[in-house]
Amino acid sequence: MPGGWRWDQAASSSGRFQSSSAVCYLGRYQEALAEFERTIELDPRYAAAHVSRAWELALLGRADEAERAERRAEELIEVSENLRVEVAYAIAVARGQVGEADSLRQRIPAMARHPDTDPDHRRGLLSSAIMVLARGSEPAAALDLLGEFEQVVGKAPDHDWLIASPDFARFRGDPRFAALLESSRADFLERMKPLVEARAQGKLPPWLEAPLDASLRDSR
């Protein structure tokens, strides 16, 4: 096949990309970066991994490397305006370019609300901005965006993200965050119902047992 593409490699790189994204949402950014880099080793033309690597590098303060990674993604695909703004915002924050960062951040909620924006991109835009803000010096702005999340995205923020990410530890005790946790918990338990029912029927794959138990325990 063109470029030496193999379906087994595609499945492997795709799976690793998804697990990398999950690690990122848990606030383990250095680990997520390493996983995105392994994804690229498996499939050097996996453009989404290059974009995500650029964002992770920016979040870790490595702006020059982030710009190079973003340029590599641009060589592979036409990166959407939403993703460009997402990465550019993180890079501007990493560089301490306050005016540029503020200008880009103000665009993000409107981009997320645009009717043509894919639902997954809405979630990604807001989540990325929230993580950058929460890690930085504007936690109040992060909490404000979290408050808009359900209205813009159409569902509450992921419960495991809210309880596991160390970036949100500073919000413990805030009534607005407590309300978000309760809303996200209800949504999470609803999504877990099919897995709980599958286990009751003896149909749950063994490898899902421990993650399911851990997730249900953390949601209490």
Reported pTM: 0.74
The predicted model gives 185-195 an average pLDDT of 78
In the three-class reduction of DSSP (H, G, I as helix; E, B as strand; rest coil), residue 32 is classed as: helix
Best CA proximity match to 61, nearest among 128, 132, 124, 130: 132
* Per-residue DSSP letter, 137: T
Confidence at residue 7, expressed as pLDDT on a 0 to 100 scale:
29
Give CA–CA dist 22/144, Å, rounded.
Answer: 23
Name the percent of the chain lying above pLDDT 70: 89
Q: At what angle do helices 175-200 and 139-153 cross, to 10 degrees?
A: 50
Confidence at residue 219, expressed as pLDDT on a 0 to 100 scale:
64
Q: How would residue 120 be classed by pLDDT, with cut points 50, 70 and 90?
A: confident
Cβ-proximal residues to 125 (8 Å cutoff; 6+ apart), any chain = 82, 85, 86, 108, 111, 112, 117
Best CA proximity match to 175, nearest among 146, 137, 207: 146
What pLDDT digit, counting tens, does each position of 14-26 carry?
666 777 777 787 7
The predicted model gives 90-99 an average pLDDT of 92
Q: Which of 44-53, 89-98, 201-210 has the lowest mean pLDDT?
A: 201-210
Q: How would residue 5 be classed by pLDDT, with cut points 50, 70 and 90?
A: very low
pLDDT at 189 over 90: no
What pLDDT digit, counting tens, does each position of 126-141 carry?
988 999 998 877 888 9
Q: How would residue 42 be classed by pLDDT, with cut points 50, 70 and 90?
A: confident
Q: How would residue 208 be classed by pLDDT, with cut points 50, 70 and 90?
A: low
Confidence at residue 9, expressed as pLDDT on a 0 to 100 scale:
37
pLDDT at 54 over 90: yes
pLDDT at 172 over 90: no
Other residues' Cβ atoms within 10 Å of the Cβ of residue 39: 26
Q: How would residue 11 be classed by pLDDT, with cut points 50, 70 and 90?
A: very low
Q: Do 90 and 101 contact (CB within 8 A), yes or no?
A: no
Give CA–CA dist 152/175, Å, rounded.
Answer: 21
N-term to C-term CA, the chain: 49
pLDDT at 82 over 90: no
